[in-house]
Structure 1
Amino acid sequence: MLRLRERIVSRLLSFSSTSTSAPATPPLRRLLSAVAAPIPPSRGFAVEEYLVHTCGLTRPQALKASTKLSHLKSPANPNAVLAFLSGLGLSSADVAAVVAKDPLFLCAGVERTLGPVVAGLTGLGLSRPEIARLVSLAHCRFRRRSIVSKMHYYLPLLGSFHNFLRALKCSPYLLTRDLDTTVKPNVAFLQECGLAACDIANLTMVIWGMLTSDLERLQTMVTCAEGIGVPRGSGMFRTALHAVAFQSEEKITAKLEYLKNTFRWSDTQVRNAVSRAPMLLGRSKDALQRRSEFLLAEVGLEPVCIAYRPIILCLSLEGRVRPRCYVVKFLNKNGLLDRDLSFHTAVMKTEKDFVEKYICPHKEAAPHLAQDYATACKGEVPENFRFT
């Protein structure tokens, strides 16, 4: 054990001396000293006190964590783990969070497990800060050597370490589910549905359990997407999967009925609208109701027009649709356009194009227009945009 502690300290000191970062902090020195110092046999090991005073846990956290560490008789291995984590660059707060979440991390073998894991992840191209970040998120999963093979699979699939972290936050079971029996069959099925690796990566970052759920659930989700009129392989298929993700058939049917009644659509029109803009299924009833009231009552659009151009329902009502409607009304009312401007055309322009084409040319005839438009985008209605 003494030789083990000496080797750990030697490696950490060697890393510290070659690092370009600031010298080791006093807490790290204290940890290194604790690792190197022999533990008097007569001195007991108070786990709860150790968790509070050495690891930085609160008293309630330490009380809860100590029940999992009652078998520890010496701080030798915990000291080695703390020194190892400090060597990776974890702050005292980070270390405390890891220990509070996974107290058994203190029992991990530094040379047997943690060292080889770090070596393997480094071999995959991860930097020490990235590995430290992974420790903070993976907790108990980091002290399993299988994490290296899983990262070897996920990094090229998801495109980058940053994407993997986003996916891990959304699907925390990525590092626990078996690759061969769960993840890889799901990926293969999605690829058969026409999704590219980038599509699968994007879905994994926004849909909980996308790759870690049972294949049957994934197949049901694909069936639901096809059921709303979006076939596999179409450009809208990824969006449709996001829209129906793990929703029951009953919920989807209820939302279709609500859309039909709210926008006065026929069965054909509601199916057409949802197939063109599947994200409508994710809109709240309140948001849909407000858009219906504005577009049908105030703007005067026909239901069929909205059904065949439903993307307008997915745009910000207050920050985009309503202000641009006011500008179009103002320009038409004051004869500042050679011909009537299509409301849909105005709404679908990028912000830059809209301002350049419909605001800037009227600086002399309507010097207040730019300010009025900016005010309307903040949710207010300027006097010049009151048309009653």
Structure 2
Amino acid sequence: MLSCLFSKNWLSIHVGGAHLGIQHRWICTKGPASSNSSGDSTVSYLVHSCGLSQEAAIVAARKVNLHSLPKAETVLSLLREYKFSDTQISALVRKHPKLVIADAQNTLLPKFEFLTSIGISRLDLATVLTYNPRLLDRSLQDNIIPCYTFLKDLVLSDSKVVTIWKNNSWVFLENLSKHVIPNVAFVRELSMPQSCLAYLVTYKGRILLKDPELFSQLVVEVQQLGFDPQMANFVHAMAALYAKETWKRCQEAYRSWGWSDDDIRSAFRSCPMCMTKSEKKIMATMEFLVNKMGLQSGDIAKYPYIFGYSLEKRIIPRGSVVKVLLLKGFIEEKELSLATLCSISEERFLYRFVTRYLDHVPQLSDVYQGKVDICE
């Protein structure tokens, strides 16, 4: 018969010089001691202290046998000190059960201290480690610090290293000399400026994981399309060509609206990022501009930057206002362009197309705020 014991005793534990008082949680045992009692108590601890389901705890217990409650409690206390929520702790232990038998003071704490010392917040630390717990297995001296030093030399600021940690923490798991270092060296030989290289590493870093031979082929392909490695759009073009499946979906979406291959190539050269958008974004934007605004699909191909703007926050509100003014004869089509419609600042747009016409069209402000549908 399963019996549960509650302990009100407190453990005095020192982690990183800090005194932590930790209360025992409930410990379950299965009747008299047996050969399986250790496994049963591990499952019970994983359920009641770490928040795993019974099924997940049984699976996790196959990978770890808990012999020391104080050691496990020290780990959990350290995680909570670094802002891991109960949900995150549960997910982390489920993915990485051996965490509960880690050395909190000598293994985990130094990593946490170093990562937060470079500007990673405790909340971001918890989020990333929960998503990618393999990072906890990396050696601080042999992997994490050398990787940080390499990245810092490339991007020139801790804040950008923090961005890499948040968006591309995989790089801390990589053998840098296998892919990243030779690929960085290759684009440096093409005189890619520091600003472009920093952007590539910070925001498009997965490209640097390609095998060096395939990476060089990608770079050459981008060059052959007329992009200059010394210009920012070179990195955007690399990102577009790297994501082959996304490229194909974008291509088919544009074709469905009548774009020719020449239209697509021209749009790509002008704005490479137009080939990295979701099919949903492309279709919704074209639907509004063509079917509600009455624009020609071919004219939109001449201004592909439009797909970089928010449909809900910019394109629809501004387009709706302009459509009303056109219908009421206050402005003419020749006065407008997609560049004018979306590129000018909020202040200039409001002055040019909203406030100056409010006496004649009082509902214009409501149209701009989405309270009135121009198609109603």
Identify the TM-score tier after normalising by the shorter chain: 0.7 to 0.9
Deviation at 1:101, TM superposition (A): 1.6
Distance 1:95 1:320 in 2: 40
Q: TM-score, normalised by structure 2?
A: 0.72
What SS does the aligned partner of 2:180 have?
helix
Q: Are 1:99 and 2:93 an aligned pair?
A: yes
CA contact (8 A) 1:221 1:245 kept: yes
Deviation at 1:66, TM superposition (A): 0.5
Amino acid across the alignment from 1:100? R
Distance 1:65 1:191 in 2: 46
Q: Are 1:15 and 2:18 an aligned pair?
A: yes
Q: Are 1:380 and 2:373 an aligned pair?
A: yes
Deviation at 1:315, TM superposition (A): 3.9
What SS does the aligned partner of 1:179 have?
coil
Match of 1:149 in 2: 146
Structure 2, gaps ≥5 residues long: 1-10, 28-32
From 19, 22, 25, the counterpart of 1:29:
22
Amino acid across the alignment from 2:363? H
CA contact (8 A) 2:120 2:162 kept: no
Match of 1:179 in 2: 176
Deviation at 1:357, TM superposition (A): 1.0
From 300, 312, 331, the counterpart of 2:325:
331
Q: Are 1:357 and 2:360 an aligned pair?
A: no
Bigger CA drift: 346-355 or 157-166?
157-166
Change (3 A) 1:233 1:58: same
Change (3 A) 1:43 1:247: closer
Distance 2:285 2:119 in 1: 49
Deviation at 1:190, TM superposition (A): 4.2
Structure 1, gaps ≥5 residues long: 1-7, 17-23, 35-39, 384-388
From 270, 273, 290, the counterpart of 2:267:
273
Which structure has greater strand proportion? 2
CA contact (8 A) 1:217 1:246 kept: no
Change (3 A) 1:247 1:192: farther
Q: What per-residue deviation string (whole Å, max 9, x for no partner) do you get for residues 237-278 of structure 1?
A: 222223223316xx747854763573444x544322211122
Amino acid across the alignment from 1:12? V
Distance 1:257 1:10 in 2: 61
Q: Are 1:233 and 2:222 an aligned pair?
A: no
Match of 1:214 in 2: 211
Match of 1:21 in 2: none
Q: What per-residue deviation string (whole Å, max 9, x for no partner) do you get for residues 149-176 of structure 1?
A: 3234335645666755654465453222
Structural mapping, 1:292-331, within 5 Å: 295=289, 301=295, 305-316=299-310, 320-321=314-315, 323-331=317-325
Match of 1:109 in 2: 103
Deviation at 1:65, TM superposition (A): 0.7
Amino acid across the alignment from 1:370? S
Distance 1:382 1:307 in 2: 25
What SS does the aligned partner of 2:14 have?
helix
Change (3 A) 1:11 1:282: same
Distance 2:118 2:291 in 1: 59
CA contact (8 A) 1:105 1:140 kept: no
Change (3 A) 1:333 1:382: closer
What SS does the aligned partner of 2:244 have?
coil
Which structure has greater helix proportion? 1
Change (3 A) 1:288 1:216: same
Change (3 A) 1:322 1:119: closer
What SS does the aligned partner of 2:179 have?
helix
Amino acid across the alignment from 1:54? S
Deviation at 1:360, TM superposition (A): 0.9
Q: Are 1:245 and 2:264 an aligned pair?
A: no
What SS does the aligned partner of 1:29 have?
strand
Bigger CA drift: 342-351 or 302-311?
302-311
Distance 1:329 1:131 in 2: 47
Structural mapping, 1:36-55, within 5 Å: 45=38, 46-55=41-50
CA contact (8 A) 1:44 1:73 kept: no
Q: Are 1:188 and 2:181 an aligned pair?
A: no
Match of 1:65 in 2: 60
Deviation at 1:353, TM superposition (A): 1.3
Change (3 A) 1:324 1:114: closer
Distance 1:185 1:205 in 2: 17
Match of 2:365 in 1: 370
What SS does the aligned partner of 2:170 have?
helix
Structural mapping, 1:134-145, within 5 Å: 135-145=129-139
Q: What per-residue deviation string (whole Å, max 9, x for no partner) do you get for residues 26-60 of structure 1?
A: xx52159x9xxxxx9x9963322232233332212
Amino acid across the alignment from 1:184? I
What SS does the aligned partner of 1:364 have?
coil
Aligned structure 1 segments of 4 or more residues deviating by more than 6 angstroms:
127-130, 159-162
Query: How large is the RMSD of aligned CA atoms in angstroms?
Result: 4.3
